Structure 1
Amino acid sequence: MTILRRLWTPRDGRESLSVPDALRRAELRRREGRYAEAGALVARALEIDAGNLHAHLLAAYLHVARRATAPAKEEFHWVLGHDPNHARALLGLARIAFEERDTRTCHDLLRRALRFYPEFPEASALLELVRAREAAPPAPVAPAAPRVERLRLPGTGRALIIGRTDGGLIASQPVTDDAKDVSEALARMLQVATAALRRAALGPLHRAIVEDRRDAVFTRTDGELIVSLALPRATDPTQGLLDVNRLWSATQHELGLAAGPPATAPSSTPADTPGAAPTRRIS
């Protein structure tokens, strides 16, 4: 909690807020990706009620959003220390274990959550992924990397990741040290979303917009290949989808997965966005 207070303790002269009001606003800011403001509101709530479970749970979520795993675990464990069967805290730790590829710990946490809350769709969806990972054969050898220098990013494009749904990195632009980690994290996020959609009988995942504090990552997948394009959060969704669709076609061409030449329309050219598969927004 010390880290949270150091990062997000607000200034004096603030509006008077009750703990429930502060936490409601914090949850809204968190869902909008405004993590610093959300953290300040959580810190204010904890100044008044240091033992509030909801505040500590929100603090854990904010640490996860900032990829601060150690303090996130501390907050989730704090919640479980006061409520050993807290479903959301168990799920939060399970998701971290899944990210860390600690399958046994993830499995145990999910079974524990489902023992007390059998109708917990998010835990059930993640458990399906854990079982699929345990049963999965070794990952196939990666195909030859496409010549990504030929894949022209739009003017506002920040990064391009081309990978497989098992998390394997095929190529990135620009080439960075963390591209493999980004590819793996994106694949795991899409796996969870795919499992949730399947359980809700909403069909497979084809397109998604994954948002963080800075970027909107426009993503397209066919269940085997993933192409993701990071653009500013203010990007119009229709334009972002057109951009990633163009790069999808070009990537398919480079990998030899599609007949004919790649799409050549520039990102600023209006075009019809395919409507057969709805876009899922993940934040």
Structure 2
Amino acid sequence: MTHIDYLDYYLLTHITYSKQTVKAYRSDLRQMKKNYVEWSVKSLQSYFDYLIQQCKPATAMRRYHALMALGNELVRAKRIKTNPMKQVRPIVHQYVQQREHHPLEETIQTIQKIDHPTYRLFFELISQTGLRFMEARLVSIEDIQFDGLTLLVRHGKGRRLRTVPLGEGLVNRLRIFLRERTTGLVFQSVRGQAINEQSARYALRKQSMIMHGRPLHPHDLRVAFATHLYQIAGCTLVEIQRLLGHGSSRTTEGYILSQETRLRQIMNTLSASAG
């Protein structure tokens, strides 16, 4: 079994990756195989030099981070001794984020209007802790310290454990939601399994379209959470990095959206004056 074959099987059986992530990572592996890229520093560096010239920056950066994660898995599985991606020059794209910003207050208002109580509390947890979708989906009741107001996140990327604080109001709502249950997943289907990924995403997107005329995705909640902590609450990048479970503050920086509306107003004023 080749490294790529192993990684493809690993992605299909790894429960902590969302379907979107699995699809994207498998596509990256196919492109790697198509371009005859080997798991060596020289081959990988040449590959990314090519990507920088041929692909959009977002594509090259996403593929860089994907292969970094997959290389770490090869090391963990003892298929290679060291991850060659760690010696490949990082891809940096300096720009002001121009994607659409969803203020945290707006996302919370949307979540509160979701009819389904399980999905409503599920997304409330994400919006108030910055958890990844799959991390929240796999949260167990045993991981919640109700008296200490904390949550142990066991299924983070890179096998990184972290403990995040919980607000009193959220903890009280979790108590009511769980009733007498003391074990198992917090968010379950009627069969006791993890909630359906597509149904949960659809509930959030549908409510956002009704209220604001634009879709809202689970990842937008993490971005809104990080941006709010940085711009409004005054948290440091290191604090936000630990809450989000990032391995590098550089990744966290990408989650902090600039106040692009203000910047656009400035640019429009300058261009008008120049005319």
TM norm structure 1: 0.28
Decide which structure has greater helix share.
2
Decide which structure has greater strand share.
1
Q: Which has the higher contact order (CA 8 A, sep 6+)?
A: 2
TM norm structure 2: 0.28
